[in-house]
């Protein structure tokens, strides 16, 4: 049985290595391949650790119990709001980048499915409120922000590992940008209030800067030595 178990582990490792490298070679943002990595790397133990972490503060605990969804979003309507609002900024981000909100699909009745659905449907709101652009460095910054806030997620760490290897192989000239982004995202994620569980659809009319201040998201880092 031990030999069989060893073989199984070797095989899983080979398959993961193959898919990891496929992802490294794929264009940034290849969601099908990212989804496959997510399926392979997330296990019950890891997901329980994350759920436990998210339950430590009332907002996260409440969200895991009540599982509020973003619902369907009308970008054209939000784009009519004043330009300083979250709703306008989000709609503008989506329209400018040619993106569409995820459909409000029904999900399985368990906390892990909710976490995945919630993070998926709010991903672009996180882009907007954290101020991370959708270029490579911006995605890396946001991924490191996720590592700090959806802690400790095998998936987000693996995605960063993929992007570092991709930087080494394909984007060596962007190394400084990418490491600065990773550093800033991690520090900002630790510094900010938790974003998981926020009911964003009740905040569309709120001024973005006010929201960013409340969430401790609107500051620049000083990397001073003391």
* Residue 137 in tokens: 């460095």
Contact letters (x/-) for its own copies, 25-54, by CB under 8 A?
Answer: x---------------x----x--x-----
CA nearest neighbour of 116 among 57, 160, 156: 156
| Shortest Cβ 77–its own copies spacing (Å) | 34
The reply to whether 144 sits near its own copies by the rule CB under 8 A is yes
The reply to whether 7 sits near its own copies by the rule CB under 8 A is no
Of 26, 70, 157, 215, which lies in the binding site for its own copies, with binding defined by CB under 8 A?
Answer: 157
Binding window for its own copies (CB under 8 A); candidates: 56-64, 65-73, 94-102, 173-181? 173-181
User: Rounded to an integer, what distance in angstroms lies between the CA atom of residue 164 and that of residue 159?
Assistant: 9
| Shortest Cβ 81–its own copies spacing (Å) | 28
Listed in sequence order, the residues at least 6 apart from 65 whose beta carbon sits closer than 8 Å to its beta carbon are: none
CB 139 within 8 A of CB 78: no
The reply to whether 183 sits near its own copies by the rule CB under 8 A is yes
Of 187, 206, 207, 210, which lies in the binding site for its own copies, with binding defined by CB under 8 A?
Answer: 187
The reply to whether 145 sits near its own copies by the rule CB under 8 A is no
The reply to whether 108 sits near its own copies by the rule CB under 8 A is no
Task: Provide the b/e sequence for 104-113 (b: ≥16 CB within 10 Å).
Answer: eeebeeebbe
Of 81, 147, 198, 211, which lies in the binding site for its own copies, with binding defined by CB under 8 A?
Answer: 147
User: Rounded to an integer, what distance in angstroms lies between the CA atom of residue 226 and that of residue 220?
Assistant: 17
| Total count of residues recorded for the chain | 226
> What is the Cα gyration radius of the chain?
19
Nearer residue to its own copies within complex by CB, 88 or 146: 146
CA nearest neighbour of 213 among 198, 199, 196, 193: 193
Total residues binding its own copies (CB under 8 A): 49
């Amino acid at each position: 049985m031990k030999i069989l178990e060893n073989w199984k582990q070797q095989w899983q490792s080979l398959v993961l290595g193959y898919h990891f490298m496929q992802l490294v070679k794929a264009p940034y943002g290849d969601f099908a391949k990212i989804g496959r990595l997510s399926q392979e790397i997330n296990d019950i133990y890891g997901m329980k650790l994350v759920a436990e972490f998210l339950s430590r503060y009332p907002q996260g605990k409440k969200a895991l119990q009540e599982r509020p969804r973003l619902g369907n979003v009308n970008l054209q309507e939000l784009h009519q709001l004043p330009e300083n609002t979250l709703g306008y900024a989000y709609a503008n981000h989506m329209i400018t980048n040619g993106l569409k909100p995820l459909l409000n699909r029904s999900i399985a009745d368990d906390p892990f499915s909710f976490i995945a659905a919630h993070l998926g449907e709010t991903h672009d709101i996180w882009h907007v409120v954290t101020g991370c652009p959708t270029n490579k460095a911006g995605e890396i910054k946001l991924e490191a922000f996720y590592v700090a806030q959806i802690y400790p997620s095998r998936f987000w760490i693996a995605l960063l590992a993929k992007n570092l290897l991709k930087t080494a192989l394909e984007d060596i000239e962007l190394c400084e940008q990418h490491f600065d982004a990773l550093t800033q995202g991690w520090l900002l994620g630790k510094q900010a209030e938790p974003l998981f569980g926020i009911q964003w659809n009740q905040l569309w009319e709120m001024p973005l800067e006010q929201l960013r201040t409340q969430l401790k998201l609107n500051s620049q880092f000083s990397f001073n030595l003391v």
